[in-house]
Structure 1
Amino acid sequence: MAHALVIGSSGGIGRALVSEAEARGARVTGLSRSADGLDVTDEASVARVLGALEGPFDLVFVASGALTAGPDPEKAIKEVTPDALTDLFRVNALGPMLVLKHALPLLPRRGRAVFAALSARVGSIGDNGIGGWHGYRASKAALNQLIHGAAIELSRTHRDAVAVCLHPGTVETPLTAPYAGRHATVTPDKAAARLLDVIEGLTPDQSGGFFDYAGREIPW
């Protein structure tokens, strides 16, 4: 990895990804809403900010996202609201897809390149045995489908590129603190190192996949 772009670089995982990538010798461009005015849910914003960059980037990592659009995740059907669902889909699914759309000119046509988006194991339909968290689960499942479909198209124009969704595990950040419960957690630094290890080992035949922090494939 020589030149990396991290979207959501002001968040816990995003900051750690920037630091880890730099420690591995990469030149890193970090973008966030707070520092750069990048609103991933607004296509004009994405087009403006990414359009000002000079590539190519051999890694584009979207580390932005939201756990909930309200005070708490929905634990019951009666708690689902149209506004909360829409907000989560805009941040978790639409946002990364818009980034990919406008990052295409920044990816090399020849040579290895990776587009990665933070997903979550709870976005797996096959792995959902307890329900709840309806908006978060559904928005991450939508992200997985969008990136899977985009990877098929990407392979026709960027045959050495890889587009994947990655589950980082439960990471110790202010966003996850109220919900970690009994789950084993890792620091953002550890999560970033594991994710970049996975990215470094990916091959084009794995493009469109959904993997965890150890490189294991997660069921759809």
Structure 2
Amino acid sequence: MLSMTSLPQGYRALVIGASGGIGSALSTVLKGDVACGEVVALSRSGTGLDVTNEESVAAAVAALEGPFHLIFCATGGLTIDGVGPEKSLRQISADAMMRQFALNAVGTALVTKYFTPLLPKKERGLMGFLSARVGSIGDNNLGGWISYRASKAALNQILRTASIELARTNPEAVIVPLHPGTVATSLSEKYSGGHERTEPAVAATNLLTVLNGLAPQQSGQFFAYDGSRIEW
């Protein structure tokens, strides 16, 4: 059973994108932690939160009262409006690429802008975001998936930059992008290529375990579900 031992007894958690496969599992796992005092779940389908719309994000935050010791953003998209990842440069569509950036990059920036003020100022606070190993520039040996890769690389840079600023106001905070592995959700179903997929509950536990174990000095780095650091 998960135990977020680095957080105080009765800590409050917030999950953004809680209606998705991983987001829903994160909410369930956190509710099962006896140390957790409250889990607040936000999503487009459940509460109307659209992370690509600044007014929607601002309104969601205005309705909340902090602090939250743990905030996890589980939003993201690989296939958006029926358009999946490109296999070659010839398949690039400006509209499809903009939609990838709107959700994966701009959405991350807006969540970071509006939700980081809800973290504790002097206590330990954790903030995790779903990224993907394919967002690593140094680890890219296959090509393809250009828009998705680039949007996740942008997500990583946004969080790296945010971590530097956050360290000045919240010295005990950790904010990181996390690679969940190949998880048995609708996002990965068409693209798993026969590879073994992890159940959402297991993936959620892995992600929270990694986040729980990070020190403030590791804020802004990029980690995988097994705790290993991924190159940029």
Q: TM-score range by the shorter chain?
A: over 0.9
> Percent identical across equivalent pairs?
54
CA deviation after TM superposition for structure 1 residue 75, in Å? 0.2
Task: Show the counterpart of 1:218.
Answer: 230
1:199 Cα deviation from its structure 2 partner? 1.1
Aligned-pair CA distance for 1:94: 0.9
Q: List, as ranges, runs of 4+ consecutive aligned residues in structure 1 with deviation greater than 2 Å.
A: 68-72
Provide Cα deviations, 1:54-85, integer angstroms capped at 9, x if missing partner.
11001110000000334321001010011111
RMSD in angstroms over aligned alpha carbons?
0.9
Q: Per-residue CA shift, 1:93-151, capped at 9, x if unaligned?
A: 11121111111221110110011110000000000001000011000000000000000
Whole-angstrom CA distance in 2 between matches of 1:164 and 1:180: 25
**Alignment counterpart, residue 194 of structure 2, candidates 174, 182, 189:** 182
Which range moves more in the overlay, 131-140 or 104-113?
104-113
Q: CA deviation at 1:183?
A: 2.3
CA distance in 2, matches of 1:107, 1:71: 35
For 2:214, give the aligned amino acid. L
Q: Tell me which moved more, 174-183 or 7-16.
A: 174-183
- 2:40 pairs with one of 15, 24, 29: 29
**1:117-196 matched pairs, under 5 angstroms:** 117-196=129-208
More helix per residue: 1 or 2? 1
Q: Does 1:64 align with 2:97?
A: no
TM-score normalised by L of structure 1:
0.98
Secondary structure (helix, strand or coil) at the match of 1:166 reads strand
- Equivalences for residues 50-89 of structure 1 within 5 A: 50-69=61-80, 70-89=82-101
- Does residue 39 of structure 1 match 2:57? no
> Partner letter of residue 140 of structure 1?
K
1-structure distance, mates of 2:160, 2:117: 19
Shift, 1:182, TM fit: 2.9
Shift of 1:88: 0.4
SS where residue 60 of structure 1 aligns?
A: strand
What CA distance in whole angstroms lies between the structure 2 residues aligned with 1:71 and 1:101?
A: 28
CA distance in 2, matches of 1:104, 1:218: 24
Q: Is the 8 A contact 2:83 2:96 kept in 1?
A: no
Of the structure 1 ranges 100-109 and 149-158, higher mean CA displacement relative to structure 2 is found in 100-109
Residue 28 of structure 1: how far off its partner (Å): 0.5
Instruction: State the Cα deviation string for residues 9-64 of structure 1 (Å, max 9, x = none).
Output: 00000000001011113211000000111000000000001111011001110000
Contact 2:108 2:158 in 1 (8 A): no
CA displacement 1:187-214 (0-9 Å, x = unmatched) = 0000001011101101100000100001
The amino acid of 2:206's aligned partner reads: R
CA contact (8 A) 1:68 1:135 kept: no
- Once the two structures are TM-superposed, the CA of residue 176 in structure 1 deviates from its matched residue by 1.0
Letter in 2 for 1:6: V
Q: Which residue of 2 aligns with 1:5?
A: 14
How many residues of Structure 1 are paired with residues of Structure 2 in the alignment?
220
Query: Which secondary structure state, in structure 1, belongs to the residue aligned with residue 56 of structure 2?
Result: helix
For residue 40 of structure 1, what is the amino acid of its counterpart?
A: V
CA distance, structure 2, for counterparts of residue 176 and residue 38 of structure 1 = 23
* Stretch deviating more after TM superposition (11-20 or 98-107): 98-107
Structure 1, unaligned stretches of length 5 or more? none
Please, which runs of 5 or more residues in structure 2 have no aligned partner?
1-6
Is the Cα–Cα contact under 8 Å of residues 70 and 127 in structure 2 kept in the other structure? yes
